[in-house]
Amino acid sequence: MTTYGELLDQAIDALDAATVAIGAAPPSGLDDQVHIAVARAQLYRNLHQQVVLVGAAPISLLANELAHATARTGNLADGIVLTAPSSPVAVAVARAAAVAEAATAILASHLAPPAPTILALPPAPAAAALREAGHGRPAALRRIGDVVTAATRLDHRLGVWLAQHTIVAAAISDADRTTTSRLPQAAARTARAKQPSPLDTLQANTALEVPHRQRSIDDFGSAFAALDTARGWLLDHRDHHTAIDLTTLSGVGLSLSHQVSFALRLAGHPLPKDAVAHLTHLWRRAGRLLGQLRDVRNIDTSPEIKTLLQVERWLRGLTRHEHGWRLPEDLVRTDADADTWHSLAIQLAARLPDLATLLDYGSNAAISRNALAQLWWPGPREVHGVWVNHPLWQRATITRGPGKNLVETTRLLRVPSEWPAIATSTRPSPGLQEVLDRQPPGRQGQRPTYRNTFEAGRRAEAITSDVRNLRRRVRAATSATHDVPVAAAPSTAIAEHATDIARADSPRLNEPDLAP
């Protein structure tokens, strides 16, 4: 499937071909001249839409000059019935307008809000990072500016080449205005961005007819497209992840880490064993801790989470069979095979840091909004005259138990997840990190706030300290008099009071006690 960046390159090539053809071809007939004028208007209108979608202000120099580039031809171009172009210039300009329109459609499928009646796929992570944080906007504008520069080069020669038809005369006027306006300077300003545009790899974000779908994955391209779609959904719903979502994400991250390591070994660039062991250990530990947590409410699993598993199964089938890893000599027979595995490792390494960031943020956000539950041992207590020591379900917190260990583990996972990308000299794919970098600190910052759960934990810890002091006083009184029995009831009452206070902010899920 053609990407957005490839379409921009095709538009530039077509415009350059038209510029060259003007000097070699004789003036065209009226039909071709009209076709050129209409195609030119369509080209500039699509470039203007792309600039607005990328996020440049409508009053910015580039957007303003692009709007004026079709000041007269814009309205006249609508409704004209065109015949097939025949001259090289008309064919090239029509080709540039067509691919620019296709590029606008791809960009709009990721950056424009979908219609309420259409179930759309989530935007690609690169598009979401640009939309929410502006990441990559200068580079994206530079790519559009390259097309604008090629269009203005054509306009320099177009005015004297076209005849005096009504629409053609308007195109001549607009073309002449372009050569004296600030549009070339506006396009030149975009060239300051030296980084590659993160939008170049976008493909059409097709609207969905059925909410629950099964993707067809039969090659690397479709696998990575499905993986990016799942990443986009996780980014779009980053404040609503469930325990099932996070557990699946940790399992996929662990599997992809093994896949990267194995692919690099096949390509002849193995990662250090201790680095692989540390990275996989953190993914595995996060999965175990998530296995100890439960969702407070029953929530259906998203189809995009199932897509993650589908991608993982397909990639795993390339390198493993039911008895273990496939033999390297069966997978690498030529240098081309080694290059293929190295390319696979690069693609996976670029996406691994974003998966770790999604897991870290999602875990913190789920605990912050009291959406996860963990088992808690409140200690011995009397129930209907019987002393029991059963665990209870309690809202997970960052102050103790699996919740605390989970946020520590996911935080530690962020740096090792970048090691494969560093080893392959790969720039990590834009995603959640770029969005978080642009958010102000605090409640919307990188680390979610835990005011409710943290305060509940502090209050419980304060009462626990009172329990310890009371027990010391009871032991001191007992040792001094030798005839006063140890009174367990006061300390038990205080312990139960501490439990009730902690549960005021973190309610118990199951009313009856659970067996250990």
| d(C-alpha 341, C-alpha 269), whole Å | 10
Q: Are 409 and 280 in contact (CB under 8 A)?
A: no
Residue 9 has a pLDDT of: 93
| Burial category of 431 from C-beta neighbours within 10 Å (exposed 0-12, middle 13-18, buried 19 and up) | buried
Q: Are 187 and 61 in contact (CB under 8 A)?
A: no
DSSP string, 337-352: HHHHHHHHHHHHHHHH
293-295 and 392-395 beta bridge pairing? unpaired
Instruction: Report whether pLDDT(393) > 60.
Output: yes
Residue 486 has a pLDDT of: 24
- State pLDDT tens for residues 100-131: 999 999 988 888 876 655 556 778 888 888 88
Task: Give which of 278, 287, 333 is closest to 312, Cα–Cα.
Answer: 287
pTM of the model: 0.67
DSSP 376: E
Residue 27 has a pLDDT of: 60
| d(C-alpha 407, C-alpha 180), whole Å | 59
Report the range of poorest mean pLDDT among 36-45, 159-168, 255-264, 438-447: 438-447
Residue 457 has a pLDDT of: 41
Average pLDDT, the chain: 76
Here the tokens at position 337 are: 């095979």
- State pLDDT tens for residues 228-287: 888 888 888 888 888 889 999 999 999 999 999 999 988 888 888 888 999 999 999 999
Cα-based torsion angle of the residue sequence 488, 490, 496, 502 in order, rounded to the nearest 10 degrees: -130
| d(C-alpha 75, C-alpha 11), whole Å | 23
pLDDT band at 24 (very low <50, low <70, confident <90, very high): confident
Residue 250 has a pLDDT of: 93
- State pLDDT tens for residues 139-191: 888 899 999 999 999 988 887 777 545 676 677 778 877 877 888 778 877 77
Here the tokens at position 392 are: 């209870």
Q: What's the full length of the chain, in residues? A: 516
Query: What SS3 state is found at 324?
Result: strand
- State pLDDT tens for residues 181-240: 888 778 877 777 767 777 777 766 654 433 345 567 888 888 888 898 888 888 888 888
Residue 81 has a pLDDT of: 66
Instruction: Report whether pLDDT(97) > 50.
Output: yes
| Cβ-based neighbours of 37, under 8 Å, separated by 6 or more | 73, 77, 162, 165, 167, 168, 170, 171
DSSP 190: G
Give the range with max mean pLDDT: 13-27, 70-84, 412-426, 453-467: 412-426
Sheet with 392-395, edge to edge strand ranges? 293-295, 372-376, 392-395
- b/e 307-329 (16+ beta carbons within 10 angstroms → b): bbebbbebbeeebeeeeeeeeee
* Residue entry with tokens 């303003």: 64
pLDDT band at 87 (very low <50, low <70, confident <90, very high): confident
- Identify the bridge partners of residue 387 per DSSP, sorted by sequence position: 382
Mean pLDDT within 280-308: 85
pLDDT band at 480 (very low <50, low <70, confident <90, very high): very low
N-to-C CA span, the chain: 55
Report the range of poorest mean pLDDT among 62-66, 225-229, 477-481: 477-481
pLDDT greater at residue 336 or residue 8: 8
Residue 455 has a pLDDT of: 38
Query: What SS3 state is found at 115?
Result: coil
| Burial category of 104 from C-beta neighbours within 10 Å (exposed 0-12, middle 13-18, buried 19 and up) | buried
Phi, psi (deg, nearest 5) at residue 242: -100, 175
Q: Are 163 and 115 in contact (CB under 8 A)?
A: no
* Residue entry with tokens 């607005």: 52
Residue 451 has a pLDDT of: 29
Cα distances from 343 to residues 112, 220, 260, 357, in angstroms, run: 32, 10, 10, 23
pLDDT greater at residue 411 or residue 23: 411
| d(C-alpha 298, C-alpha 129), whole Å | 30
Mean pLDDT within 79-108: 86
For the chain, give the percent of residues with pLDDT over 90: 22
pLDDT greater at residue 477 or residue 40: 40
Residue 185 has a pLDDT of: 79
